[in-house]
Amino acid sequence: MKKIPAVVIMLGLIACGASSEVTRKLTVNPDKTRLILFSDESGKEVARRQLDKDGVLLKEAGKVPEGPVKQYFKDGKVQAEWNFKNGKEEGLFREYWDDGKLCWEGKYSGGKPEGIKRFYYKTGKLGYEDEYRAGIQTGRKSFYESGKVNTEGVFKDGKEIERKWLRENGKLQGECAILNGKETGIRKEYYENGCREESNYRDGKKDGAMNVFSKSGNLNLETNFKDGKENGVRSYYSADGSLQKQEVYKDDKLVK
């Protein structure tokens, strides 16, 4: 019986055990819905996913083989990379800027984000961190270039409901309820001199009354905004609460 060289056997085992790379291609349609195609090394499509504008899966066909999956820029550089198991993303995920620097990193479990997902600016500085549990976002922090926390978001059912702004020294600068990613209701701003501003917001813009209070809690100023611009009478008050002077504004311009 003819013996097969050990080297040939080893090469055969390596070839059998090696997992071929799958390529991922993302197309964003004019209506912001997305189509993701997965192809094997021969270019044959093995799976596809259709997502809505918010990234929610609408339809899925085929199954992504186990192993590495990569997405590329037009120049051939790696844009993002995942690992798949049982047709789902599993383990470490990375996305890169066009110069090769890290842009995103995080982990998946059973196709869902899990734990901390980090975003980095092109400078390499940490921009923000998103926290997930079983694919549902539970928090977000953004950072100053120094690495100190800039904002903190509170989430419920995967949506941000409250946000706090912090100064670089860690002191509270502002806080507001959030609806659909925008400030809504009363936003409180805390000045470094101890004064406090309270403004009504709608769709991320000042809309309604704005009041400024002194360190002792007395009303210093009151005015009104409409769609982000000051409109109406601005009133100034002295420390004893008496009216000091008034001005009239229209679309952020002093008219009287």
Task: Identify whether 60 is part of a domain.
Answer: no
For the entire predicted model, the pTM comes to 0.81
Residue 165 lies in a domain: yes
Q: For 39-95, what is each residue's pLDDT tens digit?
A: 999 999 999 999 999 889 999 999 999 999 999 999 999 999 999 999 999 999 999
Q: How far apart are CA 80 and CA 84, in angstroms?
A: 13
Mean pLDDT of the chain: 92
CATH code of the domain containing 96: 2.20.110.10
Strands 67-72 and 22-28: parallel
Flag whether 51 is in a domain: no
pLDDT at 5 over 60: no
The whole-number average pLDDT for the span 179-194 is 96
Helices (H) and strands (E) in the chain, counts: 1, 24
pLDDT at 90: 98
Q: Which band of pLDDT confidence, cut at 50, 70 and 90, is reported for residue 212?
A: very high
pLDDT of residue 54: 87
| Domains held by the chain: number | 1
Per the domain annotation, does 31 fall within a domain?
no
Q: For residue 254, is pLDDT > 90?
A: yes
